[in-house]
Chains A and B, each alone.
Chain A
Amino acid sequence: MSLSGRLRRPGLRSRATAAFALGAALVAGVLAGATYGIVHHYLLAQRVSSVENEAFSDARVVKETLAASPNSPVSGSLSSVMPGKGTRSLVYRDGTWYSTSVNVGNQNLPTSLVDQVLSGNPAIQRTLIAGTPMLAIGMPVPAVSADYFEIHSLADLQTTFDILGLVLVLGAASITMGGALVGRWASGHLVQPLRGVTAVAAEIGAGDLTRRLPTTADRDLDPLVTSFNDMVTSLHERIERDARFTSDVSHELRSPLTAVQASVELLALFRGFLPPEGTRALGLVEQETSRFSETLENLLEISRMDAGAADLILEELQIGELVENAVSSYPHGPVPVVADAPASVTVIHCDRRRMQSVLTNLLDNARIHGGGATSVSIATLDHRATITVEDAGPGVPAGERSKIFERFYRGRTATRRNEQTGSGLGLALVAENVRAHNGRVWVEDRTGGGSRFVVSLPFGSDIADAGPGSPAEGGHR
C-alpha cells in the first residue's frame, strides 16, 4: 500500500512545478550557451588578430636585424625582439632552433604548424603547453631564409572564459529555481478553487445537501461551479423525491394492512368457532400478516435511512440497563446477559428504540439461524463499548461474513424458505442502525463453535451531543 503510494504519479502541483522549472532551465540554458559562444568567439578572434599583428611586426624586426648583419648570431637578432609578457619567440634557420626561453623550444610547437610553415605558408594554431592554452603562430621569412615562430599564452583569456561560464551557469540555475517557484505559486493559485470544491463536496458527502459552491465571475471556473451546483441540486431533488415516494408507499401499503391486521385479530377472537382447516388457515394468515407487517416496517425504516429522513433520538443511557431491558423484553425465551459492573454502567449516547431494534434483530438472527442466542455480553475497551450476541449454531462461513449484512441476502444456511425465515432485512437494518450511531458491527467465530455478532459503539465525546434537555427539539430536523 505505502509502496504503491510512493510509486504513484506525482500530483498536479508537482507536475506543474516541474514543467515550469524545466521550461525555465531550457530557456536559461540556451541563452547562457549562446552568450558564452558569442563572447568566446569574439574575444578569441580579437586575440588572434592582435597576435598576428604582433608576430608580423616581430618577424619584421628579426628579418631586418638578420639582413643588416647576416653573419651575426640568430640569438642576437632574437634579443632585439621585445616580446610581450607571456610571449615566447623562436627562430629556425639552417636546421637549428633558437628560442628566447630555455623552457620553451620547438618541441612545444605543434608539428602540423611547423610542417606548414617550413613548406612556405604562414599558420596559426591553438595548443596546450603544460595545461595552459597557448596560441602558436609561425611564418617563413624567405629574405633571410629563416622561419619565425611565436607562442602566446591564452591563460588570461581562459580565466575570463571560466568566470563568464561560472556566472552564466549560476544565472541559469537561479532562473530554473525561479521558474520552479513561479510554477509552485501559479499552480497553487490554479488548484485553490479545487480545494473549495473538495471542501464543499466533503460537506455534501457528510449529508449537508443544501451546500453549494459560491458563484464566480471567473469565466474559466464558472462552468465547473455551475455544473457542480446543478449536480448537487438534482441529487438533492432526487433524494427528496425518493423520500416522498417512501412516505407515499408507506401510507398506501399501511392503510390496507391496518384493515387486514385488525380483521385478522377480530377473526382470531372467533377461533373456537372455526373447523380445524379454518383454524390452520387463520394461523397462516396471522403469521404471514405479521411477517408482511414486519418486512414493511424494516423496508420503510431502511428507505428512511437511505433518504436521510431517519433521525436519531439520542439519550444518555447506561449500556447495561439498555441491554438488560432489550433482552428481557425479547419474547422468545430468556438469554443470559454477561457484564462486569464497570462496563454495564458505561453511559452511551444512543437512540434507545433503535438499539432495541439492533438487539432484537440480532437475537432473531441467532434464533432463526443459530439455534438461539447463548449469551449477550457487554465489554468496554478504549472508548468503545461492545455488545456481543453469541450462538452455538453452524456459524457463518468466512466468505459470507460481510454479505449477510446486505439486504435480502439469503445465505447457504437459509435456502429453505420455511416459517423460520426472517424478513431478510434484519441484519441490514442492524448494520444501518449501528452505522447511524457511528459504530461497527461484524460477525466472527465463537470459540467452541457458533458465531459471535459484535456491535462496537463509541462512548465519551465520539458521538454528537443530543442536548438531553431538549431531545425532542434536537432530535429532528
Chain B
Amino acid sequence: MATMKILLVEDDEPIRTALGMFLTQEGYTVIGAESGEGGHAAFERQPADIVLVDLMLPGIDGFETTRRLRRQSTVPVIIVTARDDSYDVVAGLEAGADDYVTKPVFGKVLSARIRALLRRASEFSSPTVWRFGDLEISRDAGVVRKGERDVSLTRTEFQLLCELASKPGWVFSRANLLETVWGYDYFGDSRLVDIHISRLRNKIEDDPSNPAFVLTVRGMGYKLQP
C-alpha cells in the first residue's frame, strides 16, 4: 500500500514542522500549507487522503477552507482548533469537517483520529445494496441514490448511513455510533453524531426538518425507518 498523504493546513510554523515530523515518523507523507489558499492549491496539485485544517488562519479561515474543500471533494477533514468553544466546534462540523481535535493536541491522539477516519474506507466485505422507498444505498460501490439522482455523501456521512441501514428500525445510541463510525469510546463528543445526522438529512430527506428516513428517538438515539 502506498503511503497515505496528509495535507496539513497550519499557519504556525513550529507546529507545522513538529506535527509534520511526528506524522512523517508515523509513516505518513505530509504536505504542509500555511494558508487556506495555499492548502487549496496544494490539494488541486495533489489530492491528499486526509486534510488537517487549523481554524485560525490568515486570509480565508479554517471554516471557509473546509467549506471550499467540501465543494470539490469528500476527503476526510479534521479541524484543529485552539478554541474548543461550542461555536468553533459546531461551526467547523457544520462547514463539513468529519472530526476535530483541540490544541495542544497529542500526536498520538491525532494519529489515532487519522487512522480511524482512513480505516473505514476499506472495511466492507460482503456486497450489499439496501432499498428504503426511493432511497438506494450500494455499500460497496459507495453510492447513494435518491430517486433518479445521485447523492454525494462524505465518507463519514456514508458510513453513518450504512451503520443505520445495517439494522433498519434498530435504535442506535450516540455512544454506539461514536464508537462504530468514529472509533471513539463512550466519552466522544455527541455533537459529532448530531451534526452529521443533520447534514445527512439535508442530503437525503425531502423535508429535513420533518425526516422520513433518519428518525430521532427521544432520549435514546437515532434509527433508520424501515
Whether B167 sits at the interface, judged by CB under 8 Å, is no
- Check B82 against A266 for contact (C-beta < 8 Å): no
Q: How far apart sit A356 and B222, CA to CA, in the bound complex (Å)?
A: 23
User: Are B103's CB and A255's CB within 8 A?
Assistant: yes
A326 surroundings in chain B (CB, below 8 A): 186-187
- Whether, in the assembled complex, B191 has its beta carbon less than 8 Å from a beta carbon of chain A, the answer is yes
Cβ contacts A300-331/B at 8 Å (1 or 0 each): 00001000010101011000011001100100
The 4 closest A-B pairs by CB, nearest first: A476-B86, A262-B18, A325-B186, A259-B14
A83 lies within 8 A of chain B by Cβ: no
Task: From known contacts A266-B25, A476-B87, infer whether A258 and B15 are also in contact, taking CB-CB under 8 Å.
Answer: yes
CA distance A296 to B84 in the complex (A): 13
B174 contacts A259, C-beta separation under 8 Å: no
A195 part of interface (Cβ distance < 8 Å):
no
Q: List 10 A-B contacts (CB under 8 A).
A: A254-B103, A258-B82, A258-B103, A261-B104, A265-B22, A313-B190, A329-B185, A329-B187, A471-B190, A475-B191
Shortest distance from the beta carbon of B69 to any chain A beta carbon, whole Å: 22
- Knowing A251-B56, A251-B83, A472-B198, the reply to whether A316 touches B219 (Cβ < 8 A) is yes
A contact residues around B140 at 8 Å (CB): none
Do A262 and B195 have beta carbons less than 8 Å apart?
Answer: no
**Is B82 touching A352 in the complex (CB atoms < 8 A)?**
no
> When the two chains form their complex, are residues A325 and B185 in contact, meaning their CB atoms are under 8 A apart?
yes
Given contacts A259-B12, A265-B107, A472-B191, 6 further A-B contacts (CB under 8 A): A259-B18, A261-B18, A296-B104, A352-B187, A469-B218, A470-B194
A247 CB within 8 Å of chain B: yes
Interface assignment of B206: CB less than 8 Å from any CB of chain A: no
Closest Cβ neighbor of A352 among chain B residues: B187
Q: Are B194 and A262 in contact (CB under 8 A)?
A: no
C-beta contact mask, A250-271 vs B, less than 8 Å → 1, else 0? Answer: 1100111111111101100100
Asked if B134 is an interface residue, CB under 8 A from chain A, the answer is no
CA distance A475 to B90 in the complex (A): 10
Complex Cα spacing A477 to B218, Å:
21
In residues 138-172 of chain B, which contact A (Cβ within 8 Å)? none
Interface residues on B, range: 35 or more
Known: A266-B25, A472-B90, A475-B191. A352 touches B186 (CB 8 A): yes
B21 in the interface, Cβ–Cβ < 8 Å?
A: yes
CB of B79, distance to nearest CB on chain A (Å): 14
When distances are taken between beta carbons in the complex, the residues of chain B under 8 Å from A260 are 18, 104
The verdict on A315 contacting B82 (CB below 8 Å), with A265-B106, A325-B186 known, is no
Q: Flag whether B50 is at the interface (Cβ < 8 A).
A: no
B96 to chain A, nearest CB (A): 15
B180 within 8 A of A: no
The answer to whether B187 and A262 touch across the interface, beta carbons within 8 angstroms, is: no
Is residue A233 contacting chain B, with contact meaning CB distance below 8 A? no
Can you name the residue of chain A whose Cβ is closest to the Cβ of B215? A469
A353 on the interface (CB 8 Å rule)? Answer: yes
A residues adjacent to B (C-beta < 8 A): 247, 250-251, 254-263, 265-266, 269, 293, 296, 304, 309, 311, 313, 315-316, 321-322, 325-326, 329, 347, 352-353, 356, 468-472, 475-477
Which positions in B face A, CB cutoff 8 Å? 12, 14-15, 17-19, 21-22, 25, 56, 82-83, 85-87, 90, 102-108, 174-175, 185-187, 189-191, 194-195, 198, 216, 218-220
Q: Is the CB of B19 within 8 A of A262?
A: yes
B175 CB → nearest A CB, Å: 8
Query: Chain A's nearest CB lies how many Å from the CB of B196?
Result: 10
Residue of A nearest to B102 (CB): A254
For A356, list chain B residues within 8 Å (CB).
187
Chain B residue contacts of A470, Cβ below 8 A: 194, 198, 216
Candidates A258, A261, A304, A472; contact of B195 at CB < 8 Å: A472
Among B15, B175, B194, contact of A259 (Cβ-Cβ < 8 Å): B15
A255→B15 contact, CB < 8 A: yes
A400 CA to B65 CA, complexed, in Å? 52
Measured CA separation A296–B56 after assembly (Å) = 20
How long is the Cα–Cα vector from A329 to B175 in the complex, in angstroms?
Answer: 14
Are B82 and A254 interface neighbours, CB within 8 A? yes
CB distance from A299 to the nearest CB of B (A): 13
Out of B14, B185, B194, which one reaches A471, CB within 8 Å? B194
The smallest C-beta distance from A263 to any residue of chain B, in angstroms, reads: 5
Question: Chain A nearest CB: distance from B15 CB in Å?
Answer: 5
Q: A293: which B residues are within 8 A, CB to CB?
A: 104
- The distance in angstroms between the C-alpha atoms of A266 and B18, with both chains bound, is 8
Contacting residues, chain B, for A256 (C-beta < 8 A): 14
Quick check: B85 and A347 within 8 Å, CB to CB? no
Distance between Cα atoms of A326 and B216 in the complex (Å): 26
The CA of A470 and the CA of B185, in the complex, are separated in Å by: 21
Q: Is the CB of B90 within 8 A of A309?
A: no
* Choice from A257, A258, A315, A477 contacting B174 with Cβ under 8 Å: A315
From B107, which residue of chain A is reached at the shortest CB distance? A265
Query: Which residues of B have CB within 8 Å of A304?
Result: 85
Q: Name the B residues within 8 Å of A469 (CB-CB).
A: 216, 218
Q: Shortest Cβ distance from B23 into chain A, in angstroms?
A: 9
Please determine whether B18 and A257 come into contact, CB atoms closer than 8 angstroms.
no
In the complex, are the beta carbons of A468 and B86 less than 8 A apart?
no
From A254, A356, A476, residue with most partner B Cβ within 10 Å: A254
CA separation between A249 and B218, bound complex, in Å?
39
Residue among A251, A262, A269 having the largest count of chain B Cβ atoms under 10 Å = A262
User: Measured between alpha carbons, how far is A254 from B194 in the docked complex, in Å?
Assistant: 28
Contacts of B216 in A (CB 8 A): 468-470
A218→B156 CA distance, assembly (Å): 62
Q: Which residue of A lies closest to B56 (CB)?
A: A251
